[in-house]
Amino acid sequence: MSLAKITQVKALALAVPGDDIDTDRIIPARFLRCVTFDGLGEHAFRDERTGPDGKERAHPMNSAQAARIAAAKQGVMVVGFNFGCGSSREHAPQSIWRFGFTALVGGSFAEIFFGNSTALGVPCLTLSKDDLAELSDFVQKNPDVEVTVDVENLKVSAGAKTWKADIAASARNSLINGKWDPIADLLEGASDVAKTAGGLAYVAGK
């Protein structure tokens, strides 16, 4: 199974400020009862976006910019530090991806959230504190300017500005070489797995 080589993402961006945004805030627990991940996108940040009375709150995910990203199914989310912390629910990156975000840029990401995002083909690049603040400010002031997340060359660009970025080498390599989905990788080698298994006495029953 051939997967896309994700070398860069260029799209409109949305800043969702704040540090330590955990997975329960990204996708509340009551939405984890789904059999598949279909439909999770509309519930991303649900309790942040909607009050107990059902009325929308002032939140970036309720903005016209977020709606444009959702329609295009291509967007960059700019977040803070320790994004995706808390429980290890893979529904969190699934909801963000299904909403329409195809890359994230932040100060740091929780390890399991980072791994689950990479397995979806969603790169999570990091910037220094000052650079991240500058990018976030730029995105909020220039909603029509696309942001380029260059995974291969480890940089993020917007307008005339470019910032040096970082991502774990293993994740970078899997993304740019189209090896980011371990299940697809396993299926691609199914014939080799069957051949090896057939030669094992305790499997073949010899």
Q: How confident is the model at residue 73 (pLDDT cuts 50, 70, 90)?
A: very high
pLDDT exceeds cutoff 80 at 192 = no
pLDDT of the residue at 32: 74
Q: Is the pLDDT of residue 113 over 90?
A: yes
3-state percent breakdown (helix, strand, coil) of the chain, nearest 5:
40, 15, 40
Average pLDDT over residues 102-118: 97
Interval 44-61 mean pLDDT? 91
Instruction: Give the residue among 129, 121, 128 at the shortest CA–CA distance from 171.
Output: 121
CA angle 98–38–50, rounded 5-degree value:
65
- pLDDT tens per residue across span 138-176: 999 999 999 999 999 999 999 999 999 999 999 999 999
The confidence score (pLDDT) of residue 36 equals 74
Structural domains of the chain in order of their starting residue, each with its CATH number: 8-180 (3.20.19.10)
Residue 6's pLDDT band, with cuts at 50, 70 and 90, is very high
pLDDT at 149: 98
pLDDT at 138: 97
Q: What percent of the chain has pLDDT over 90?
A: 73
Q: What is the pLDDT at residue 35?
A: 65
Q: Which pLDDT score is estimated for 206?
A: 62
Contact 1, 187 (CB under 8 A): yes
Arithmetic mean of pLDDT over the chain: 91
Task: Determine the Cα–Cα distance for residues 121 and 151; give it in Å rounded to an integer.
Answer: 11
On whether the CB atoms of residues 179 and 3 are closer than 8 A, the answer is yes
Measured CA distances, 143 to 13, 83, 101, 137, 161 (Å): 7, 22, 15, 10, 15
Given a cut of 60, whether residue 58 has pLDDT beyond it is yes
Which residue did the predictor score with more confidence, 38 or 85?
85
User: Is the predicted pLDDT of residue 105 greater than 70, yes or no?
Assistant: yes
